[in-house]
Structure 1
Amino acid sequence: MAIKLYRHPLSGHSHRAQLLLSLIGLETELIDVDLRNGAHKQPGFLRLNSFGQVPVLDDNGVVVADSNAILVYIAKKHGGGQWLPEDPAGAARVQRWLSVAAGQIAFGPAAARVVTVFGAKFDANDLITRSHALLKVVDGELQDRDFLAGDKPTIADVAAYSYIAHAPEGNVALDAYGNVNTWLKRIEQLPGFVAMQATKVGLAA
């Protein structure tokens, strides 16, 4: 029985989960949730996630909500130790980037993209400034290693990839960040990589 992933095709949070499932090679049924018409706020969906957000994973009756929680679950159950290190230091390095994904990335490039893609009434200039501050740090972190948490890909990279790769859709240009661009290409060359659906918005390519 295939794993079910309730998602939205333009959601970077959803793409994180889909990407890891694909990288590991797990058969997955993708179920699109109609956010525009409020399907995520209906009783049936709220039983899956009381916060009314995508993504939600249903692994044969084990229901997991929140994109980073889903990454941890998939890595622990299906990843064979590759995607989430068991040693304390390695696990901590990954957790650091999961926190960045839920913090600086969510309130930087992800939020900037929400302005252009979904019409959110945020301060776009402030979000773009935050995004560049983040990208400068990430670019520096990638100076001496291939992946965010070490020399091999982990869920740290999966959690950070989607919104950084699609930052230009929020008018956040990536041209100045050579290490970031090289890292994005490394992720895209991994066996099983699947891209997130692109939009035509965003002026800074």
Structure 2
Amino acid sequence: MSQLKLYGFELSGHSHRVSLFLSLLSLKFEFIQLDLSNGEHKKPEFINKNIFGQVPVLEDQGRYVADSNAILVYLASTYDPEHKWLPQDPFLMAEIQRFLSVAAGPVAYGPARARIKNVFNAPVNIADAQNISQTVLTTLDKHLINKSWLVGDCPSIADIANYSYIAHAPEGGIDLNLYPNVLRWLSQIEQLTGFVAMPKTPVGLYQPQTLV
């Protein structure tokens, strides 16, 4: 098996979801950290790997796969011969695609944006991001009332795609204690063999309390 390379950034939830899935699949890979603050992801060498200049990018056998959700689909299709993570049943595949869209939509514009405001001081409206977060987390909490996983009876790439930014929502000032079913779901992912965490940043609800 060829050496996989993952070009990313350790505090990027998009990068983490791919690192996490590679680990869950027990795949060895080299993580290549890009200096986003100096625009390394916008330089010609990287643009040749991803025309949109975004991380992550997976290199496999001289080919490049860009976009974190697309990478999850690629890895599940290539390295999971039993199709546990991306079942071939058309209904389950459609449901998984729906939740990949949730990861790329309200999760990206909610928890992810609220987080990057506090972690990177990005020019986003954190109040809007927090409102979107409340809506999507309330919906997911209801969805998970009698469910262990987002789709079907087993973990899938739908869970992996949504995990990282929801788990780190407190960095954006979002209290996950309001969503007990979401917390249970996060805990189940964290108990999977091969789970690796994304580093926490001491901002938002993770900010150390000031001593008085």
Q: Which amino acid aligns with 1:35?
A: L
Q: 1:204 Cα shift?
A: 6.3
CA displacement, residues 132-187 of structure 1 (integer Å, 9 cap, x when unaligned): 11100000111111000111000000000000000000111101111000000000
Which residue of structure 1 lines up, in the alignment, with residue 126 of structure 2?
A: 124
Give 1:2-21 correspondences, 5 Å limit: 2-21=3-22
Pairwise CA RMSD: 1.0
Distance 2:178 2:114 in 1: 18
Q: Which amino acid aligns with 1:3?
A: L
SS for the counterpart of 1:180 is helix
User: Is 1:176 the equivalent of 2:178?
Assistant: yes
Distance 1:32 1:89 in 2: 37
Which residue of structure 1 lines up, in the alignment, with residue 210 of structure 2?
A: none
CA displacement, residues 99-133 of structure 1 (integer Å, 9 cap, x when unaligned): 00000101000011110011111111111111011
User: Is 1:31 the equivalent of 2:32?
Assistant: yes
Distance 1:62 1:198 in 2: 32
Distance 2:205 2:112 in 1: 16
Q: 1:56 Cα shift?
A: 0.1
Identify unmatched segments of 5+ residues in structure 1.
none
Q: 1:202 Cα shift?
A: 1.1
CA displacement, residues 5-30 of structure 1 (integer Å, 9 cap, x when unaligned): 00100000000111100000000100
Moved over 2 A (4+): none
Aligned CA distance change for structure 1 residues 175 and 78 (closer, same or farther; 3 Å)? same
Structure 2-normalised TM-score?
0.95
Q: Which amino acid aligns with 1:2?
A: Q
CA contact (8 A) 1:112 1:170 kept: yes
User: Is 1:160 the equivalent of 2:162?
Assistant: yes
Give 1:28-177 correspondences, 5 Å limit: 28-80=29-81, 81-177=83-179
Q: 1:64 Cα shift?
A: 0.1
Distance 1:177 1:203 in 2: 15
Q: 1:61 Cα shift?
A: 1.1
Return the match for 2:193 from 191, 194, 197: 191
CA displacement, residues 25-66 of structure 1 (integer Å, 9 cap, x when unaligned): 000100001000110011000000010000000012121000
CA contact (8 A) 1:173 1:204 kept: no
CA displacement, residues 73-110 of structure 1 (integer Å, 9 cap, x when unaligned): 00000022010010100100100000000001010000
Identity of aligned residues (%): 54
SS for the counterpart of 1:175 is helix
Q: Which amino acid aligns with 2:63?
A: V
The count of aligned residue pairs is 205
